[in-house]
């Protein structure tokens, strides 16, 4: 299940709950539904990635990271289908709150979980992995979770969702940095295989700074305070490590720390807003 990256699926939902808390009380029931759906969707995507990359010869003995091939391909295929169906079942519950307008978004999420690694143009193999993460772990979870809380998606929330997505993209960039050698050998085209280790380091740094800018531009200091300094600092420190050359074990640790930074930023936002809420203050951005 790649536990190191699960904070990425949680971060978008928790951040959205924090943003919604700036307008009023949080509906924890629908917040919980969103968390379960987000985790199941990521697990299904991870299962699909392992199955299709193994089937197509992308995962080899040279590849770093979590062990692959432990589960037989037929069993992994069944696990992918069952997890995705369970995610869809949970997703259908959101129609009770948000209406049928959410159905196209749910279909897009299900297709995206597969399109990341499968289909005629797998996103992860054609330098679109980071873009997919920005969309499906930033824009989609933030906007949908916020919508289920407030039945609206203001522009400031969309802008903040880009910042959350960029933090998620930092995680996948480190993953691809670690796998440059094996991906190049198998023909998997990622941003990191295109720009190399040092280019990846510069992009990682830029993502951290743009993430901070998006959060501040969208929500302002009243909503986020100084929390965007976390992805900004992560971008600077992590990029220096990557630029100097980080071996696979170190890259795996940086991947986990980057994911935790994303979750921590979101969790501190929610905590801050709940404290302000208890004081009767709702800092809704203008």
- Whether 13 and 264 have beta carbons less than 8 Å apart is answered as no
d(CA 244, CA 248): 13
Kindly state the average pLDDT of the residues 25-53.
94
In this prediction the pTM is 0.92
Return the domain boundaries, the chain.
3-278
CA distance 151 to 28: 15
pLDDT in tens, 47-99: 998 888 878 777 655 555 455 556 788 899 999 999 999 999 999 999 999 99
Tens-place pLDDT, residues 173-192: 999 999 999 899 888 999 99
Mean of the pLDDT values across residues 4-32?
93
Summarize pLDDT for 199-258 with one digit per residue, the tens.
Answer: 999 999 999 999 999 999 998 887 888 999 999 999 999 999 999 999 999 999 999 999
- 144 pLDDT higher than 80: yes
What percent of the chain stands above pLDDT 90? 76
Of 41, 9, 39, 37, the closest CA to residue 113 belongs to: 41
Burial of 197 (0-12, 13-18, 19+ CB in 10 A): middle
CATH 1.10.600 assigned to 3-278? yes
């Amino acid at each position: 299940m790649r536990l190191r990256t699960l904070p990425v699926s949680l971060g978008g939902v928790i951040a959205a709950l924090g943003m919604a808390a700036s307008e009023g009380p949080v509906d924890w029931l629908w917040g919980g539904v969103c968390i379960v759906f987000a985790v199941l969707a990521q697990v299904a995507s991870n299962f699909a990635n392992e199955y299709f990359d193994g089937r197509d010869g992308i995962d080899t003995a040279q590849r770093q990271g979590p062990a692959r091939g432990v589960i037989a391909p037929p069993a992994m295929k069944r696990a992918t289908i069952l997890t995705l169906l369970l995610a869809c079942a949970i997703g259908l519950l959101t129609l009770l709150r948000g209406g049928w307008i959410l159905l196209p978004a749910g279909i897009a999420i299900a297709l995206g979980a597969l399109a990341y690694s499968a289909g005629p143009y797998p996103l992860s193999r054609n330098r679109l992995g980071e873009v997919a993460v920005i969309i499906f772990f930033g824009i989609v979870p933030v906007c949908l979770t916020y919508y289920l809380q407030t039945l609206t998606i203001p522009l400031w929330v969309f802008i903040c969702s880009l910042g959350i997505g960029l933090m998620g993209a930092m995680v996948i960039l480190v993953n691809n940095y670690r796998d440059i050698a094996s991906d190049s050998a198998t023909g998997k085209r990622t941003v990191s295989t295109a720009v190399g280790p040092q280019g990846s380091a510069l992009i990682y740094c830029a993502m951290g700074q743009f993430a901070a800018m998006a959060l501040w531009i969208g929500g302002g200091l009243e909503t986020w305070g100084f929390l965007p300094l976390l992805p900004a600092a992560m971008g600077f420190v992590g990029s220096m490590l990557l630029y100097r050359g980080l071996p696979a074990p170190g890259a795996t640790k940086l991947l986990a720390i980057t994911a935790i930074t994303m979750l921590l930023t979101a969790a501190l936002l929610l905590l801050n807003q709940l404290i302000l809420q208890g004081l009767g203050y709702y800092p809704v951005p203008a």
